[in-house]
Structure 1
Amino acid sequence: MKFMSKTRRLAFAAVAGAVAIGATVAVAQTPAFFRIGTGGTAGTYYPVGGLIANVISGANGGVPALVATAVASNGSVANINAIKGGSSESGFSQSDVAYWAHTGTGLFEGKGKVEDLRVIATLYPETIHLVARKDANIKSVADLKGKRVSLDEPGSGTLVDSRIVLGAFGLTEKDVKAEYLKPGPAGDRLRDGALDAYFFVGGYPTGAISELATSSGISLVPITGPEIDKMLAQYQFFAKDTVPANTYKDVPETPTISVNAQWLTSAKQPDDLVYNIVKTLYNEKSRAALEAGHAKGKLVTLQTATNGLGIPLHPGAEKFYKEQGVLK
């Protein structure tokens, strides 16, 4: 037959309509996957990332249809490369590393600019420690001249930071007896008297420094003064910081500086999605979960979300922060 009966045509139309409606519902409920690159499972990034992924996921009352997961990684540089390459929607990074990536400087010298890199939120500070032997008579950064100092291993963000700090006081690696050790071996050499001081970047208190302070005694060298004020004006990813008294045994309150742990994404991520993610991150339920879940979770606050940015905010995040009055 060339033509369907009226009954068959109506039936066909009904089925087609049902299929179309079903397809619309399916599209509306299609989950959006949002990976968060973190760090090693033994570090701070991974558990904090897990908490954030949990609170923003739709299944837990977060952003509808969003499935967020924390992914273990090699840290800041790896996360930025994953965002750049499209293998991750977001990731954590030190603010200094984010700045170098965005500007094609520092660790990213000669590798090109990651111009689409954007900040979702500043999460918490990562303090620059300058740890010295108690008997090394190092009272300021300037006193490092001629001393045996570990600047951290090649390729690390700490190495670049330590060079900047030395430079603020008119020093270079040639003015110290530089070594390039990870914090663990550097601490061992300090304990053995084979090293005078070393740089470390991380949240306080850190276990290795606490153990060293208890077993051998240490001093924390202040990173402060007009030299540092000038440096802060030049490098906006740094901020003033203070290690409270007795954070480490017998160590008084010490002024220093910090970089920030930041949550980054690509400018290509939809504005509405990032807006809703940030809105969910700072609601009352999420705040309670973050505070209960990890010591650093208590520091993830709306009031500090735009501190020490260094690179542009994602437009979706920027819209939310302006609505909340934390950004002009």
Structure 2
Amino acid sequence: MKWVAAAAAFAAMTGLALAQQPTFFRIGTGGTAGTYYPVGGLIANAISGHGDKGVPGLVATAVASNGSVANVNAIESGSMESGFSQSDVAFWAYTGTGLYDGKAKVEDLRIIANLYPETIHLVASKASGIKSVADLKGKRVALDEPGSGTLVDARIVLSAFGLTEKDIKPEYLKPGPASDRLRDGALDAFFFVGGYPTGAISELASSTAIELVPITGPEVDKMLAQYKFFAKDKVPADTYKGVAATDTISVNAQWVTSAKQPDDLIYNIVKVLWNKDSRAALDAGHAKGKLITLDNATNGLGIPLHPGAERFYKEAGVLK
């Protein structure tokens, strides 16, 4: 009977070990100088299990990436469990349109939560004399890296004003390196899509005379009618040092995952995301954190919610 007792003890120990195995959950974000990365860190810390907080056994991490497109592709391939994406990129991926025209649809893409508006920044040095999108012709302009949602939107904005990359001197840089080059006089302007204020632009404005270029006018009105995921937006005065209030446009930042992720896991993650401890962390951790609210979590989705998330939102009364 000793071997029976030993086997039972071993089974119990093995079961305990299995029960204690952590569940890893990566959140693809963006460049470290943008908004996705710090917000992703806040959310990862809030949902990770530690003490009596978070999802028990969950180890969530924010991973720097090239942004929306790269995150969607990583979710599709299984190299990331989740990630942040602009609403336009998520819609295109799911429907096989726009940027994903001619590519296989990412049919398993699902939403965990809508997060906050992402503002399209067009940052220019005052010395460049750039006052409108049309003024970018012939200028040195950074459009962000391939795989980023910023690059996609920058191309749409240029096109609205009758411009292509052939009409400018394009560079493909994240906002951090682009800021450095603009500060050094090696760049005239750069695009960045993200929640304001973003660290790289705040730092740049503290040492360099910059302007936000308005993205407005009849060209933009026509563009908004064509691309429903854009909305009018305004960056308030002095969001960045010495920069006046600027009319522009925005898309939504969304937290997306795969339909293959377990329903109970996503349900528990969403439940913790909207508890009082997470609320306090979001409010205190980043200017955009205050805009991440349960009331807005199911607005402007464009693609289906993950069933686990949908279950929570129905229980919470924000979905019927």
* TM-score of the pair, normalised by structure 2: 0.79
Residues 40/226 of structure 1: CA separation in 2 closer, same or farther (3 Å cut): closer
Offset, 1:59: 3.3
Q: How many residues align?
A: 317
Q: Is the CA contact 2:48–2:59 (under 8 Å) kept in the aligned structure 1?
A: yes
> Which residue of 226, 232, 249 maps to 2:224?
232
Q: Which residue of 2 aligns with 1:53?
A: 44
Residues 272/240 of structure 1: CA separation in 2 closer, same or farther (3 Å cut): farther
Offset, 1:173: 1.0
The 5 A counterparts of 1:14-163 are 31-39=22-30, 43-62=34-53, 65-76=56-67, 77-134=69-126, 138-141=130-133, 143-144=134-135, 146-148=137-139, 150-153=141-144, 155=146, 156-163=148-155
Residues 72/196 of structure 1: CA separation in 2 closer, same or farther (3 Å cut): closer
The 5 A counterparts of 1:161-180 are 161-169=153-161, 171-173=162-164, 176-180=167-171
Offset, 1:305: 1.8
Q: Is the CA contact 2:118–2:193 (under 8 Å) kept in the aligned structure 1?
A: yes
Gaps of 5+ in 2: none
Q: 1 CA distance for matches of 2:187 and 2:10?
A: 73
Could you report, residue by residue, the CA deviation over 1:104-153 in whole angstroms, capped at 9, with x for unpaired residues?
44554554221101111122333211123436554443x33645251515
Q: 2 CA distance for matches of 1:26 and 1:279?
A: 26
Residues 246/283 of structure 1: CA separation in 2 closer, same or farther (3 Å cut): same
Residues 107/74 of structure 1: CA separation in 2 closer, same or farther (3 Å cut): farther
Asked if residue 296 in structure 1 is aligned to residue 288 in structure 2, the reply is yes
* TM-score of the pair, normalised by structure 1: 0.78
Gaps of 5+ in 1: 1-7
Residues 160/47 of structure 1: CA separation in 2 closer, same or farther (3 Å cut): closer
Offset, 1:317: 1.5
Following superposition, which runs of at least 4 residues in structure 1 exceed 6 angstroms of deviation?
11-29
Q: Is the CA contact 1:147–1:196 (under 8 Å) kept in the aligned structure 2?
A: no
RMSD: 3.7
Give 2:298's aligned amino acid: T
Q: Which residue of 1 aligns with 2:318?
A: 326
The higher radius of gyration belongs to 1
The 5 A counterparts of 1:5-16 are none
The 5 A counterparts of 1:222-261 are 222-261=214-253
Q: Is the CA contact 2:142–2:187 (under 8 Å) kept in the aligned structure 1?
A: no
Offset, 1:321: 2.6
Q: Is the CA contact 1:236–1:310 (under 8 Å) kept in the aligned structure 2?
A: no
Per mean C-alpha deviation after superposition, the further-off stretch among 291-300 and 266-275 is 291-300
Q: Is the CA contact 2:44–2:62 (under 8 Å) kept in the aligned structure 1?
A: no
Offset, 1:217: 2.2
Q: Which residue of 2 aligns with 1:219?
A: 211
